[in-house]
Amino acid sequence: MGPAGNLQGIRQALAMGADKAVVIDDPSLRGSDALLTARVLAEAIRREGFDLVIAGTESTDGYSGVVPQMVAELLDVPALTYATKLEVSGEEATIHRQTDLGYDEVRASLPVVVSVTAGVVEPRYPTFKGIMEAKKKPVETLTLSELGVEPKVEQVVVGVEPAPERTAGEIVEDDGTAHLKIVAKLEELKVI
Amino acid sequence: MSEYQPPLEDIDFALNQVTDLASVAKLEGFQHADPDTVRDILAEAGRFFSEVIAPLNRVGDRQGSRLTEDGVVVTPDGFKDAYHKFVESGWGAAHIPEEYGGGGLPYTVGIVLQEMFKTANMAFSLCPMLTQAAIEALIRHGDDTQRGLYLEKLVTGEWTGTMCLTEPHAGSDVGALSTRAERQPDGTYRLFGQKIFITWGDHDLTDNVIHLVLARTPGSAPGTKGISMFLVPKVLVEADGSLGRRNDLRVVSLEHKLGIHASPTCVISFGDAGEGAVGYLIGEEQRGMRYMFTMMNTARIGVGIEGLAMGERAYQLALGYARERRQGRPVGGDPTVQSPIIEHPDVRRMLLTMRSYNEAMRRLLYVVARHVDFERRAETAEERERHGKVVALLTPVTKAWCTDLGVELSSIGIQVHGGMGYVEETGAAQHYRDARIAPIYEGTNGIQAIDLVLRKLPLDEGRVVHGFIAEMRSVAEPLATVDSKAAARLTEALDALAASTDWLLGRLAGGSYNDALAGATPYLTQFGTVTGGWLMARSLLAAHRMLEAGEGDARFLRSKISSASFYLDQLLPRANGLVPAVTAGAEPLMSLPAGDF
């Protein structure tokens, strides 16, 4: 999803080994919300046919972190999220889902949507052959009407406020009871 | 951020605006190397060399390759993994002809890949560089069986190659070598002897190493005429391509060197076990030296790249330091605040000197590479020959001028750092130490100067060199329209070069060879400096044209004009000062008896 004029990222993905790219370029997608993005992606994926959809966890601009799950829902398939490891065996996909304490092993039958976390897998470098072959690979460009998706943005931005400025820290002078004040403070913050 | 950022913008400008890459892409078989594709290729390759190869430069220097008690050469941490990624990436084979499994890119692009590898990690880059020489030898002079068994694996990089020339008493004078090769009834040979200075002669990166060894057959002519070339694998290769038993050769020791510590420089003993190392003759007996010469041009240009590589690397490091380090207060500046040292005129002089010479070297290397492509692929035999002669003329200049500058610029790089530059932890010293080998190997720079004066100037009775000087002159006129002072300086430098050239040709014609030899080294420096001036003038003109046409990034183009002007105004005039040394003759050098030194 994006302007077809800049295909740098697409070409790099093709050079890394992808067989084909589909670009959905439509002016009405500017300012798209998570749900519209998911609808567009789901429709494009359905059109191509799929067994396994791999997505990042979130984009580095919107940071909503919900698009892969929405795509799965719209495609009516399971979502395996926050994967640090993925194995596909026969008709089944198994992931390690990152948790605060370690990981859960989660399985689902194909077709499935998997979202992977950043920095876990080192992407391969495009090879010389890959770069040359990428030139011959098909890149299809579609508009929203060709995809049959209505550009409806339902998310409303109510307001934008700057993050609160940092306030000066509280200084506790030690008159012999400072430890008690600190413990009270930590209890108030519910960290102990 | 990696320590090495490939200067893609200047590379692109040098390739397209100074070198005319588009004309190379019109040659037979190079159609896929159009400027857009090349830009994509270089961006990805640059990322690879910057992220995978460059970070190993420091560890390679600190650890070095080492020889274990079992006689195995172990490379520094990370080299094996990075080498495998390099093989996988295909960058090593990108400029080898497609019929041999390579990518079929022109040398004009291949040289940029080499530049990036060498700048990222010079010691590491020598391994694929030597392999490249072995590939060229096999392509040109090997037979079908040899090509079938060895070529593919060398092209992919699954095996590496070496060149075994030097012996303890046969260095610059290769003809003195004594390694012997005895012919067996089955047509193979057995080699006995010791070779030294074998770059990447053994290592743990691959399963096999293919040595190309110069040796003498019984009854062969003395000197270089009697030398033959043999292919001697570390591990013998069966007819089906599988690996057989170890050959009778072993690494006796590694040299402890000033720099390029990651590159194992081996002493190799052939035939120590008594049976002799199995070798296969390349081509015919007693033609080995001739085969070596066919590879010499690209090998020497390849070493010339190292001058640029160390100059560029040293510049990037020094520039980063000069921007951060605060010392002193500039004239007219805030007296209460120390300024970054890049604000001081003398530091700027150092940085601009590095930057301008680097740009000049880059342009020279690419232009020579373009001539190599035309020598190989131009349409008519006449054209190919014409370009071949320019390559012959410029090869010794490229090798020696660039590698001398590599030492000079990496030394300036230390100077920019002040005392910290002399301390190893800044990394500036490594570049200086690494750069120092390049004026020595692949024919010392003294040998290059002799080659230029004795062999290259007389080509076609001096018409090749004068034709080249005339070509350089043609840029003075358009230059005068944008910068008359620079044009006058260029004309003056070209006049001085023409006069030096005529003086040397006159001495050669009169049989006064010692006079010509005495002036050879300063002449080569003069030649290189003036050639650099011609190329920087072209760079300046291209930048002007683009600025006027509103093309490209104006800030970048103005920086090109700045470095070109600095070169033409302040570096080019150095060439004229060499004339007295070029034309002094041998008497001032030879009159003092050797014992009175």
d(C-alpha B166, C-alpha B304), whole Å:
20
Does residue B90 register a pLDDT over 60? yes
**Residue B348: CA count within 13 A, CB half-sphere:** 9
Is A112 part of any domain? Answer: no
Amino acid at B29: G
Q: Given this model, what pLDDT does residue B117 score?
A: 98
Is A143 part of any domain? Answer: yes
| Residues linked to residue B63 through DSSP beta bridges, in sequence order | none
**Domain region containing A25:** 3-81+121-154
Angular region, B13: left φ>0, alpha ψ -120 to 50, beta rest: alpha
**Average confidence (pLDDT) over B564-576:** 98
The residue of A8, A122, A125, A135 whose CB has the most chain B CBs within 10 angstroms, and thus the best one to mutate to test that interface, is: A125
Does residue A92 register a pLDDT over 60? yes
pLDDT digits (tens, 9 = 90+) for B275-315: 999 999 999 999 999 998 877 778 999 999 999 999 999 99
Is A106 part of any domain? Answer: no
Is A168 part of any domain? Answer: no
pTM of the model: 0.91
Is A103 part of any domain? Answer: no
Q: Which of B41, B52, B85 sits opposite A128 (nearest CB)?
A: B41
Q: How confident is the model at residue A154 (pLDDT cuts 50, 70, 90)?
A: confident
Calculated CA dihedral for residues B16, B438, B523, B472, nearest 10 degrees: 0
Q: What share of chain B is helix, strand, coil (3-state, %, to 5)?
A: 60, 10, 25
Amino acid at B312: E
A128–B90 C-beta distance less than 8 A: yes
Domain harbouring A40, CATH code = 3.40.50.620
| Interface residue B155 vs chain A (CB under 8 A) | no
**pLDDT above 90 as % of chain B:** 94
pLDDT digits (tens, 9 = 90+) for B5-61: 999 999 999 999 999 999 999 999 999 999 989 999 999 999 999 999 999 999 999
Q: How confident is the model at residue B1 (pLDDT cuts 50, 70, 90)?
A: very low
A125–B44 C-beta distance less than 8 A: yes
Q: Given this model, what pLDDT does residue B311 score?
A: 98
A11–B44 C-beta distance less than 8 A: no
Chain A residues in contact with B36 by the CB 8 A cut-off are: none
Is A180 part of any domain? Answer: no
Q: How confident is the model at residue A170 (pLDDT cuts 50, 70, 90)?
A: confident
Which residue of A lies nearest to B87 if distances are taken between CA atoms? Answer: A127
For residue B47, the distance in angstroms to the closest alpha carbon of chain A comes to 9
**Average confidence (pLDDT) over B460-470:** 97
Does residue B2 register a pLDDT over 70? no
pLDDT digits (tens, 9 = 90+) for B229-240: 999 999 999 999
C-alpha distances (whole Å) from B40 to each of A7, A131, B28, B46, B298 are 12, 8, 21, 10, 25
**pLDDT above 90 as % of chain A:** 52
Does residue A4 register a pLDDT over 80? no
Does residue B176 register a pLDDT over 80? yes
**Average confidence (pLDDT) over B110-129:** 97
pLDDT digits (tens, 9 = 90+) for A118-151: 877 788 899 999 999 998 999 999 999 999 988 8
**Average confidence (pLDDT) over B561-588:** 98
Domain count, chain A: 1
Q: Given this model, what pLDDT does residue B218 score?
A: 95
Chain B residues in contact with A13 by the CB 8 A cut-off are: none
Of A174 and B215, the structure prediction assigns the larger pLDDT to B215
| Interface residue B85 vs chain A (CB under 8 A) | yes
Does residue B180 register a pLDDT over 80? yes
Helix segments in B49-182, DSSP class H: 56-63, 79-89, 107-120, 122-141, 144-146, 152-156
pLDDT digits (tens, 9 = 90+) for B369-400: 999 999 999 999 999 999 999 999 999 999 99
Which residue of A lies nearest to B48 if distances are taken between CA atoms? Answer: A125
**Average confidence (pLDDT) over A141-167:** 87
| Interface residue B156 vs chain A (CB under 8 A) | no
Residues of B serving a catalytic function are 442
For residue B436, the distance in angstroms to the closest alpha carbon of chain A comes to 32
Which residue of A lies nearest to B40 if distances are taken between CA atoms? Answer: A131
DSSP-assigned letters across all residues of B86-125: HHHHTGGGTTS-GGGTS----HHHHHHHHHHHHHH-HHHH
- Measured CA angle at B198 (ends B194, B200), to 5 deg: 140
- In the block, tokens 């530059």 appear at B421
Is A137 part of any domain? Answer: yes
Q: How confident is the model at residue A1 (pLDDT cuts 50, 70, 90)?
A: confident
Does residue B175 register a pLDDT over 70? yes
Q: Cβ distance B204 to B75 under 8 Å?
A: yes
Does residue B491 register a pLDDT over 70? yes
Q: Which of A12, A129, A135 sits opposite B90 (nearest CB)?
A: A129
Is A191 part of any domain? Answer: no
